[in-house]
Chains A and B, each alone.
Chain A
Amino acid sequence: MLYQLALRNIWRNRRRTLLTLSAMIISSALLILALGVFSGMLRDMLATATEQYYGHLVISAKGYQDDRDMFRHFQSDESIGTVLEQEDVLGYSQRLRSFGLLSRQQNSSPAEILGILPLQEQTVTSLHESLIDGNYLTTEDPNGAVLGSGLARRLNVVPGDQLVFVTQAADGSIGNDLLLVKGIFSTGDIGHDNSLALVPLAWLQQVLVLPGQVHEIAVKIDQPFNAASLAEKYRVDLHETLEILDWGEMLPEMAEVVASYDVSRMIIVTILYIATGLGILNTFFMAVMERTRELGVLMALGMRPGQIRVMILLETTIMGSLGLVCGAVVGIALSLYMALVGVDLSGTLTPITYAGGTILPRLHAVIEPGNILIPSVCLLIVSLLAGFLPANRAAKMQPVVAIREE
């Protein structure tokens, strides 16, 4: 009976109810969309950092990631094989790294040379998808190189040009050899676009005189946000001279950004819902005030104060639930659109590198359960809280006073 009465009370002033519902739906839908876009930006940043260079996990000799010392190299052993066979691992790439000088004619530039196995590297990073000229490395290329766009521009090279690479080899000699430019990539990450060159692993092992050796194995996993716990889990299986680091340890600023996201999210939710909550509170107070006499009559007829309170709270709960469901549906629909289509802002904005990742010039949403659940649950809580004050006022009314109210 109370439910039926509450339901009819909601619709007695349709315009006001629809306006209040609209406020609820719009606020929660926009919040779901905003959080989705926010998450999308965060995913983009993480992806540019991990899927364009670092990987989610990196296995290397202890201390290598601190100083990138050429002599901290290792050879793949059984313990590494155990890690790489885990079901969470989507791919891995063995890498050898060197820093040296690339030059062509009068142009030269310091560069980071990453020796890779092309097919392996494609399972970890997406550099092969960022080519703007030429082709990616193949297994048949003995001395091919794929350069970042900034580096290529500085050296004034295009695919087909030859480059000279000079560096110090592991045996103390000067390692040098010719490279053939195969392709040019552009990721939007200025740091890597200006300095990184990918070369065949075997070629670099020969130049550095480090046959069969690698400096790191970059690993891609299924759930990037679980990287820390997986690193912890795999650490016990590794040989004592090796270490495994997750992206958060390699990019502490990025880890901070991710950690601060939850706080930022709650701040946004709180600000928006305080405003929405006050609107709902105002509506329900109005609804109770103008029904004072009627509520007095209900009490005179024998309705207990507790039943009056439940009736008003039911009204707010029904409104909140309706707002929640409709808001979630609209929010998910908008987020889906932004996930599938998005908005390209590259015409007006340039990529911004921040905390080791790159904020791409686009609005793109990802759908995460938390981004839908948090606004929805908060809306219901706000509705209940907003209903509590008027419900309490109604329950405390003296029927004889309420009936006299005009």
Chain B
Amino acid sequence: MALIELKSVTKIYPLGNQEVVAVDDFSLSIEAGEFSVFAGPSGSGKTTLLNMIGCLDQPTRGEIWLEGQEIGHADQKMLSELRLRNIGFIFQSYNLIPVLTAAENAEFTLMLQRVDKRERRERVTDLFSLLGLDGLENRKPSDLSGGQQQRVAIARAMASEPTVVLADEPTASLDSHASEELLALMQRLNQEQGATFIFSSHDPLVISHGKRVVRLHDGHLESDQ
């Protein structure tokens, strides 16, 4: 059984009096441990797909299965729970909580899951060490560089050991050096910890790191390599 399965997924957004088809009759299977990239130009539907897999949005038609559970038509409470337990997000502009320190940001989902404080600290310390963030635990996001903030965001996404980590244009706000470092780190996490990563990006650097590249165009699957 695939970790994620999309069956004839269509997403239509209302736009004034018109409708925009963001994803059209899209089907795909993703196995556990994959390091996949949804590639395509702006408006191709890659972020919409990522949002639907991440339980942030729901399809107009079709089904989305995550670990054997249909999530495409779950209620808000269930979606919150799925996001908390199964999904790790890495956003383009980091989106760290400004009032929390780096370590508290990384611990946030664990706090929501009511994980014991000591265990939280251990997990985050390990991740910070792995991500080269030692010594930055008590810094506020505003005191960190873009690359450091994105690493904290990775730590936050990874801390709760989710089923899948979704990264939407994760390098868009970083320079090429920082992007290279970050991608190498995520590849390492994928290899060492077996975490499943799905990216959306039109950055050739990110695409070149993908083990599987799913190309989209106007909401349709163009290629899957």
Listed in ascending order, the chain A residues whose CB lies under 8 Å from chain B are 1, 5, 8-9, 12, 293-294, 297-305, 307, 399-400, 403
Within the complex, the shortest CB–CB distance from B75 to chain A, in Å, comes to 11
**Contact between chains at B97 and A297 (CB < 8 Å):** yes
Provide a sorted-by-A list of 10 A–B residue pairs whose CB atoms are within 8 angstroms: A8-B100, A12-B98, A297-B91, A297-B95, A298-B97, A301-B108, A302-B80, A302-B83, A403-B56, A403-B91
Tell me which of B56, B77, B80 contacts A400 (CB under 8 A): B56
Interface string of B97-136 (1 = CB under 8 A from A): 1111000000011011100000000000000000000000
A12 to B81, CA, bound (A): 28
A303 to B76, CA, bound (A): 11
**Contact between chains at B57 and A302 (CB < 8 Å):** no
Tell me which of A8, A297, A304, A307 contacts B99 (CB under 8 A): A8
| Chain B residues in 8 Å Cβ range of A304 | 77, 80-81
| In the complex, B84 has a CB within 8 A of chain A | yes
B111 to chain A: closest residue by CB = A1
| Chain A residues in 8 Å Cβ range of B91 | 297, 403
**Contact between chains at A400 and B109 (CB < 8 Å):** no
**Contact between chains at A301 and B99 (CB < 8 Å):** no
| In the complex, B151 has a CB within 8 A of chain A | no
**Contact between chains at A9 and B80 (CB < 8 Å):** no
| Chain A residues in 8 Å Cβ range of B95 | 293-294, 297, 403
| Chain A residues in 8 Å Cβ range of B85 | 302
**Contact between chains at B56 and A301 (CB < 8 Å):** no
A8 to B98, CA, bound (A): 10
A293 to B57, CA, bound (A): 16
| In the complex, B89 has a CB within 8 A of chain A | yes
**Contact between chains at B97 and A303 (CB < 8 Å):** no
Given that A399-B56, A400-B57, A403-B91 are contacting pairs, would A303 and B80 also be in contact in the complex, using a CB cutoff of 8 Å? Answer: yes
**Contact between chains at B80 and A299 (CB < 8 Å):** yes
Given that A400-B51, A400-B56 are contacting pairs, would A302 and B81 also be in contact in the complex, using a CB cutoff of 8 Å? Answer: yes
A60 to B23, CA, bound (A): 95
B80 to chain A: closest residue by CB = A304
| Chain A residues in 8 Å Cβ range of B80 | 299, 302-305
Which chain B residues in 76-96 approach chain A with CB under 8 Å? Answer: 76-77, 80-81, 83-85, 87, 89, 91, 95
| In the complex, B215 has a CB within 8 A of chain A | no
Main secondary structure of the interface of A (DSSP, over half): helix
Report the contact-size class of chain B (Cβ under 8 Å from the partner): 20 to 34
- Most A C-beta atoms less than 10 A away, residue of B98, B99, B109, B111: B99
| Chain B residues in 8 Å Cβ range of A1 | 111-112
Further pairs besides A293-B95, A302-B112, A305-B76: 12, Cβ < 8 Å: A1-B112, A9-B99, A298-B97, A299-B83, A302-B83, A303-B80, A303-B112, A304-B77, A399-B56, A400-B56, A400-B57, A403-B56
| Chain A residues in 8 Å Cβ range of B57 | 400
A293 to chain B: closest residue by CB = B95
A300 to B100, CA, bound (A): 17
| Chain A residues in 8 Å Cβ range of B100 | 5, 8
Given that A12-B99, A305-B80 are contacting pairs, would A300 and B112 also be in contact in the complex, using a CB cutoff of 8 Å? Answer: no
| Chain B residues in 8 Å Cβ range of A294 | 95, 97-98
**Contact between chains at B89 and A300 (CB < 8 Å):** yes
Within the complex, the shortest CB–CB distance from B74 to chain A, in Å, comes to 14
| In the complex, B46 has a CB within 8 A of chain A | no
Within the complex, the shortest CB–CB distance from B17 to chain A, in Å, comes to 19
A272 to B98, CA, bound (A): 35
A73 to B84, CA, bound (A): 87
Given that A293-B95, A294-B98 are contacting pairs, would A302 and B84 also be in contact in the complex, using a CB cutoff of 8 Å? Answer: yes
Which chain B residues in 159-183 approach chain A with CB under 8 Å? Answer: none
| In the complex, B59 has a CB within 8 A of chain A | no
| Chain B residues in 8 Å Cβ range of A403 | 56, 91, 95
Within the complex, the shortest CB–CB distance from A107 to chain B, in Å, comes to 83
A304 to B76, CA, bound (A): 8
Within the complex, the shortest CB–CB distance from A315 to chain B, in Å, comes to 11
Given that A1-B111, A400-B51, A400-B56 are contacting pairs, would A300 and B97 also be in contact in the complex, using a CB cutoff of 8 Å? Answer: no
| Chain B residues in 8 Å Cβ range of A8 | 99-100
A8 to chain B: closest residue by CB = B99
Within the complex, the shortest CB–CB distance from A310 to chain B, in Å, comes to 13
B52 to chain A: closest residue by CB = A400
A293 to B76, CA, bound (A): 18
A300 to B153, CA, bound (A): 13
Within the complex, the shortest CB–CB distance from B50 to chain A, in Å, comes to 10
| Chain A residues in 8 Å Cβ range of B113 | 302
**Contact between chains at A301 and B109 (CB < 8 Å):** yes
